[in-house]
Amino acid sequence: MKARVHVTLKPGVLDPQGKAIEHALDTLGFSGIQEARQGKLIELNLAESDPETARAQVEEMCRKLLANTVIENYAIELEA
Amino acid sequence: MKSAVVVFPGTNRDKDMTRALEGASGQAPVLVWHKDTEIPKVDLIVLPGGFAHGDYLRAGAMAARSPVMREVVARAERGVPLLGVCNGFQALTEAGLLPGALLRNADLKFVCRTVTLRVENSQTLFTGRFEAGETFETPVAHMDGNYFIDTEGHKRLADNGQIAFRYAEGAAAGPANPNGALDDIAGVFNETKTVLGLMPHPEDATDPLHGGTDGRKLFDGIVEALS
């Protein structure tokens, strides 16, 4: 089973990389971008095949390592 | 004063820290490898600067989960003084021993220069040689030094005297705040003031060849408090 973990900065936390992307897109002439936020994607290949168990495992990985919950949110996507 | 300096793969300020501690205390610190699970009985544990585990995932994140950290956390919980500088500060926030987090510098640039620090709380085992409000010069060298904490946490820090140092106007050239840190915060204590983390490198302002010796006061104060 595959898991995709999206880690993003919480709303309100300054994202200078997102800001830089926003400015670069604006320079390229893409107008109307109200905000760009940058995050990261972590792909995991799991031996586990039960979605519920897999989700619980990945949740724990997120809390213990993959996301710093002081500043980041995470979202988990599972794919059989 | 007996001290231990923890070395992670990627740590590069352990020698600077060792020299500063030895200069102040007359005793060379014990070096502890990140895979060690035992730390000798010491009066102070230090996490020095560098790029532990290459700063993969987040600065200090892997270091905070190194085997040695279980013992570091246990000692800190028993009140053993703990100092984290730069990457060591990042690791202490990642380990939950200090509040807040260190984000990428606001201007996305690695900053390497001298800054002026203002001492905000001089009533601690780390800062006893300073007067509150006193300023001193010390180098910074980091990419992720932008201190962040939520509004509630920020209020708790301020109310409880947990803000150790702020970036301030002074002799150092350039903007006072080098990284966009919230409320100009350069260093914080834990609630009991037995753990200190700061982004600047006072260990690199302890020899006249460094261009300044202001950092000595911090180390002399620690030695005085712990000897």
Q: pLDDT-based confidence at B192, cuts 50/70/90?
A: very high
Q: pLDDT-based confidence at B215, cuts 50/70/90?
A: very high
How large is the ipTM?
0.87
Instruction: For chain B, give the mean pLDDT.
Output: 97
Is B57 in CB contact (< 8 Å) with chain A? yes
Is residue B34 among the annotated active site residues? no
Element (H, E) at B110: none
What is the dihedral angle through the alpha carbons of B3, B4, B10, B15, rounded to the nearest 10 degrees? 40
Q: pLDDT over 90 for what percent of chain A?
A: 95
Q: Is the pLDDT of residue A7 over 90?
A: yes
Q: How much is the pTM?
A: 0.95
Query: Do residue B103 and residue A13 have CB atoms under 8 angstroms apart?
Result: yes
Q: How far is B107 from chain A (nearest CA, A)?
A: 7
For A29-45, how does the pLDDT look when each residue is reduced to its tens digit (9 = 90+)? Answer: 999 999 999 999 999 99
Q: For B148-164, b where at least 16 C-beta lie within 10 A, e where not — what string? A: bbbeebbeebeeeebbb
pLDDT of residue B124: 98
A16 to chain B: which residues are within 8 Å by CB? 103-108, 146, 180
pLDDT of residue B81: 98
Q: pLDDT over 90 for what percent of chain B?
A: 98
**In one letter, which amino acid is B53?**
H
Query: Do residue A13 and residue B148 have CB atoms under 8 angstroms apart?
Result: yes
Q: Is the pLDDT of residue A80 over 90?
A: no
A66 to chain B: which residues are within 8 Å by CB? 57
Q: Is the pLDDT of residue B94 over 90?
A: yes
- Closest partner CB to B101 (pick from A16, A17, A68): A68
Q: For B190-208, b where at least 16 C-beta lie within 10 A, e where not — what string? A: beebbbbbbbbbbbbbbbe
